[in-house]
Amino acid sequence: MNIKEQLLQGLSDAGCSTETTERIGVLYESGSYDEMLRQMRMQHCRLVDEMHESQRKVDRMDFLIRNQEKRIK
């Protein structure tokens, strides 16, 4: 697997859309590395935002469980 294939596979594995993966691949091929890295950082931020949203959901579920446990006891 060459470097571009590894990059595209990694982006896909990280949850990037096909459109985003292809756009970053085009940037890589054209040598637009600064823009490629900017796009990759944007995807990183998106993933961090998703992680934080998931954490908020987990925290909310923990709160609900604790409240129900208190009521049952």
| pLDDT of residue 67 exceeding 90 | yes
Query: Whole domain around residue 62: which residue ranges?
Result: 3-72
pLDDT digits (tens, 9 = 90+) for 13-47: 999 999 999 999 999 999 999 999 999 999 999 99
What is the number of structural domains in the chain?
1
25 within 8 A of 2, measured Cβ to Cβ:
no
| pLDDT of residue 73 exceeding 90 | no
Give the mean model confidence (pLDDT) for residues 1-24.
96
Within 8 A by CB and 6+ apart from 35, the residues are 27
